[in-house]
Chain A
Amino acid sequence: MKTIKLASALAFLMALFFPGMAFAQTDPGVRSNTGVNAGQPYASVSANANDLAFYQAGFAQFNEHQTVTGDNPGLGPRFNLDSCGACHSQPAPGGTSPAAGVFPNVGPNPQSQVIAKGVVIGSTNTIPFFVQPNGPVREARFPFFFDRFGNPNPNAPNGGVEDLFTVSGRADAVSCNLQQPSFNAAGATRNMIFRIPTPVFGAGLIENIDDSTLLANQAAQAVFNRVGISGTFNHNGNDGTISRFGWKAQNKSLMIFAGEAYNVEMGISNELFTQDRPLPGEDQLGSGLPANCLNLAGVGYPEDITHSGGTSASTVTSDTALFSVFMKFLDQPTPSTTSPGGATSIANGRRLFSAVGCAICHTPSLTTQASNLTSDLSKATANLFSDIEIHHMGVGLADNVSQGGAGGDQFRTAPLWGLGQRIFFLHDGRTTDLLAAIEAHQSSGSEATAVEEFFDLLSPSQKQDLLNFLRSL
């Protein structure tokens, strides 16, 4: 009893005389007391019956589960999951990786459930060791090809997606018998990196920012003391304009983004990516997919097409185009002005975010150009907290995958809108702790090291305000 009293008195004295020591900043966690603050169409879309029908058709397609044959055909022969909406689900369809037990309790990592749900057959597929029920949805890539002796070869860059699962063993896969890539070997040799789904809320706004706006923002940031930061842009190889979607800003448009994902993540050929996709190594070996794994849907190629027999605009449109429409019409998340930590703390945190230099890369807002799609995309303020530039992020975050003009350590400034209701952070979802994600910004070769040091110089209460601000987004 005496001991408890003494401890209490000591704690009181510590708090009185050393407030900084007594109060350590913590990540407030996923914001749960303001409802789900993302996942709605723009008001101008809701107000237009035709646009709304398109959006709703896109929403339905986005959440549909694909199968090898049947009504929603084309899945596989290799894939990461069977539905866009299963991966992009936190906190609402269009978001990012979910987790069970975290608001709004979307559910466990759906990749961990594929055998239980019969999407893949357990006798021919295993759940890779890095897919955990409480972990993030993951896409795996091998930065390098293995040589014929099974060693990763640094002189043979790979970097393509290694789909986790195969259709082998499913009744509708008939005789197609494919093996999963060597994830254990890749992990043991450090020849594997991960990506988690990027949320697509507000993506239509990002698509509608003119290059001139991005260039002007880059020049404006260069005027001021750069504190170590000097980014560049990734460019579309066809027309040289600034590309902007994906972790390395490698995709130009949402249509390309949708077409590539349908092909790479679900194995569904479409009008942008017209063949079933083998693994990078299957192409490298000159074999491609075996004949008995092609045209499993029995409909020919591409599996997803524009339907000339459709009876309305949304039934004529291909799945890929509907995904694109859904993403274009999905409004940006709504931040909270009061939660977590209260209005004063959030406002203070926002000013600190700018003062220490986070806002040099995480540009709070950019204005879109005139839109031919819907009025809410036109001359709108996109509160994206990104400059859409790619930046060197150092050895700590480097994944040794090159995409377009982005090298192995360069990443697009991740838009922070909606961060308050995200669970997993950084490109590979390595942490759920916002503070750890901020600390990961510094390492040798990173442009953000100095800014992270400035963050470290803040007092614990200032850091808490900044964390509260980020979780208010």
Chain B
Amino acid sequence: MNMHRRFSRSLVLLGFSISLLARAQGPPQSGGDFSSNPHPSVLPSNVILVKGAWSSASDSVTPLPEGGRVANNAYSNQYFGLTYSLSQDWTEKYSGPPPSDSGYYVLAQIRSADTFMGTSRGSILIAAQDLFFTLTPAGNALELINYDKESLNRDYKVEQPPTLVTIANHSFVRFDYGSPVAELHWHVLATQIRCHMVQFVFTSRDTKLVESLVEEMGKMTLPAEAGPISGRGGGEVPVCIKDYARDENVLERVDPIFAERRFNPVPVRIIIDKQGKVKHIHFLSAFPDQAKAIADALSQWRFRRCLRDGEPVEVETGIMFGRAPRPATLRSTNAATE
């Protein structure tokens, strides 16, 4: 019995010594940089798990500009109130990046499908530029396209200067240019909806293909406000007013308290309800801690009610947090006018 006890004690001591030795030899074998699990979980591939400044919103119900989808041979976007039909030869292979901190959106990137049987291929880019945050001094879609034309470098040739056209019973500005060296043609059609320039860019070597795509735009549906200058909301959506959050309209303001010093621009679109309270916040590009701090602050803001024809209306406006807004300095000449 005694011998058995001594043997057991020796075993315990031996085990303890081995464990001490193992500790002295290096860090533990799990956690940190060391793993010895024979059946570990595997991370998914092709997923962005660590995001930097990204888009988010205060609720998941209110439509967002980036919320459009290509499905059933059509691109539809509830925020912009548009539907654009595609032929079966066109598909979206890759979705776009998140909205940028200067208010640029890639809404859809559509290309000739692998089954496309035509002689020339092409691509369709549907993009938007939030006119509250654009780095150019354009006040509307028409001015923005005119700036595009003015800034065209010598690699390109203007094929049709910015011109007003009617598509699907709405006014668009159309601008065609090409690259002689690349033998590519770009036809740009833009309108304005909710203070965004919404842009369709058709690209191909074949002008007939591009022209046919422009013609097919006639089947699209758009909100009544759409137009190169006129798209300023209203009706079933809030009116959009640049710089509505200026001093004379803000009755109560609380600045966000950021826990960490960052230096990125944080563009935010808000919808103010008829009582002057912030109803919805869309962070175009913000780190989660920034979004939280801004949301906490904006919930305390009170705005002067906006009246149209004597009636209060909802207002959509933009506020740039973080870095100070950049001043616009450029001017365009020889511009098309509406």
- A residues in contact (CB < 8 Å) with B: 142-152, 154, 157, 159, 162, 177-179, 181-182, 185-186, 188-191, 215, 218-220, 222-228, 230-232, 235-237, 240, 279-282, 284-285, 287, 348, 351-352, 354-356, 391-392, 394-396, 398, 400-402, 405-410, 442-447, 449-450, 453-454, 456-459, 462
Q: Flag if A405 contacts B111 (CB, 8 Å).
A: no
Q: Could you show 6 A-B contacts with beta carbons less than 8 Å apart? A: A146-B32, A285-B27, A348-B181, A395-B48, A444-B46, A450-B201
CA A74 – CA B49 in complex, angstroms? 36
Question: In the docked arrangement, what's the CA distance between A449 and B95, Å?
Answer: 9
Chain B 135-170 per-residue mask, 1 if CB under 8 angstroms from chain A, else 0: 110000000000110111101100000000000000
- Contact A150 to B106, CB < 8 A, known contacts A354-B153, A444-B94, A447-B97: no
CB distance from A259 to the nearest CB of B (A): 22
Q: A219-B135, A240-B263, A453-B109 are in contact. Are A143 and B40 (CB under 8 A)?
A: no
Which of A182, A232, A401 is the one whose CB lies under 8 Å from B101? A232
Closest beta carbon of chain A to B25's beta carbon, Å = 6
Contact across chains for B98 and A235 when beta carbons are under 8 A apart: no
Given A356-B182, A450-B125: A222 touches B102 (CB 8 Å cut-off):
yes
- Complex Cα–Cα for A182 and B152 (A): 53
Contacts A355-B179, A449-B109 given; indicate if A454 touches B203 (C-beta within 8 A). Answer: yes
Cβ-defined partner of A446 (8 Å) among B94, B135, B285: B94
Is B76 in contact with chain A by the CB < 8 A criterion? no
Docked Cα-Cα span, A53 to B51, in Å, equals 45
Contact of B98 among A191, A392, A395, A405 (CB under 8 A): A392
Specify which chain B residues have a CB less than 8 angstroms from the CB of A230 in the assembled complex: 97, 100, 102, 104
Question: Which listed residue (B42, B127, B183) contacts A188, Cβ 8 A?
Answer: B42
Within the assembled complex, what's the spacing in Å between the Cα atoms of A275 and B330? 50
With a cutoff of 8 Å between Cβ atoms, the chain B residues found around residue A148 in the complex are: 30-31
A163 (CB) vs chain B CBs: closest residue: B33
B56 CB, min distance to chain A CBs, angstroms = 13
Partner of B201, one of A179, A218, A227: A227
Bitwise, B97-132 to A at CB < 8 A (1) or not (0) is 110111010100101000000000111010100000
Does B334 sit within 8 A of A, measured CB to CB? Answer: no
What 0/1 readout, one digit per residue, does chain B (44-74) give for beta carbons within 8 Å of chain A?
A: 1111111111100000000000000000000
Name the residue in A145, A218, A222, A236 with the highest tally of chain B Cβ atoms < 10 Å from its Cβ.
Answer: A222
Taking a contact as CB atoms under 8 Å apart, the answer to whether A181 and B94 are in contact is: no
Supplied contacts A143-B43, A355-B181, 16 more A-B pairs, CB within 8 Å: A142-B33, A146-B30, A146-B34, A149-B37, A151-B37, A189-B42, A223-B330, A226-B127, A235-B264, A279-B33, A281-B27, A285-B27, A449-B94, A454-B182, A454-B203, A456-B121
**Interfacial chain A residues near B256, Cβ < 8 Å:** none
Taking the complex as formed, is B28 at the interface, i.e. its CB lies under 8 A from any CB of chain A?
A: yes
Please measure, in the bound complex, the distance between the C-alpha atom of A267 and the C-alpha atom of B326, giving whole angstroms.
42
Q: Which B-chain residue is minimally distant from A284 (CB atoms)? A: B32
Interface residues on B, range: 35 or more
A137 vs B205: C-alpha distance when bound (angstroms): 41
Task: Please indicate which of the listed interface residues A142, A181, A457 has the most CB atoms of chain B within 10 Å of its own CB.
Answer: A457
Q: Is the CB of A457 within 8 A of B122?
A: yes
**Given A232-B264, A395-B47, is A280 in contact with B95 using a C-beta cutoff of 8 Å?**
no
The answer to whether residues A445 and B98 also contact, given A185-B37, A189-B43, A405-B52 and a CB cut-off of 8 A, is yes
CA separation between A445 and B264, bound complex, in Å? 20
| Centre residue among A220, A280, A352, A392 by max chain B CB count within 10 A | A392
Q: Is the CB of B98 within 8 A of A281?
A: no
Partner of A189 from the list B25, B40, B152 (CB cut-off 8 Å) is B40
Within the assembled complex, what's the spacing in Å between the Cα atoms of A280 and B204? 50
Task: Tell me the complex Cα distance, A284–B32, Å.
Answer: 7
Q: Which of A162, A224, A231, A406 contacts B33 (CB 8 A)?
A: A162
- Give the residues in chain A near B53, CB-CB below 8 Å: 232, 405, 407
Shortest Cβ distance from B113 into chain A, in angstroms? Answer: 13
Q: Given A149-B30, A230-B104, A408-B52, are A223 and B36 neighbors across the interface (CB < 8 Å)? A: no
A219 touches B136 (CB 8 A): yes
Q: Is B246 an interface residue (CB 8 A)?
A: no
* CA–CA, A143 and B162, complex, Å: 48
Judge whether B41 is part of the interface by a CB distance below 8 angstroms: yes
Q: B261 within 8 Å of A by Cβ? A: yes
User: B310 at the A/B interface (Cβ < 8 Å)?
Assistant: no
**What residues on B are CB-neighbors of A237 within 8 Å?**
261, 263
A144-B43, A280-B32, A445-B97 known; A457 vs B204 contact (CB < 8 Å)? yes
Q: How many angstroms between the C-alpha atoms of A185 and B30 in the bound complex?
A: 11
Contact between chains at A405 and B263 (CB < 8 Å): yes
Which A residues touch B94, using CB under 8 A?
394, 442-446, 449
Neighbouring A residues of B199 by C-beta, 8 Å: 225
Q: Say if the beta carbon of B4 comes within 8 Å of chain A.
A: no
CB distance B151 to A182 under 8 Å?
no
Given contacts A408-B49, A449-B109, A454-B123, contact A224 B40 (CB under 8 A): no
Residues of B within 8 A of A145 (CB): 31-33
A409-B98 Cα distance, complex, nearest whole Å:
11
Task: Report how far A232 CA is from B25 CA in the complex, Å.
Answer: 46
Whether B26 sits at the interface, judged by CB under 8 Å, is yes
- Whether A228 lies near B96 (C-beta < 8 A) is yes
Q: Which residues of A sit under 8 angstroms from B264, Cβ to Cβ? A: 232, 235, 405
Contacts of B90 in A (CB 8 A): none
* Nearest chain A CB to B98 CB, angstrom units: 7
B306 interface hit (Cβ, 8 Å): no
Cα of A393 to Cα of B127 in the assembled complex, Å: 17
Residue of A185, A225, A459, A462 most packed against chain B (CB within 10 A)? A225
| B154 vs chain A, min Cβ distance (A) | 9
Assess the B182–A408 pair: CB atoms within 8 A: no
B188 within 8 A of A: yes
How many Å from the CB of B261 to the closest CB on chain A? 7
Determine the distance from Cα of A281 to Cα of B152 in the docked complex, in whole angstroms: 52
A251 to chain B, nearest CB (A): 15
Q: CB distance B36 to A150 under 8 Å? A: yes
Which residue, of B28, B41, B134, B261, has the highest number of chain A Cβ atoms within 10 A? B41
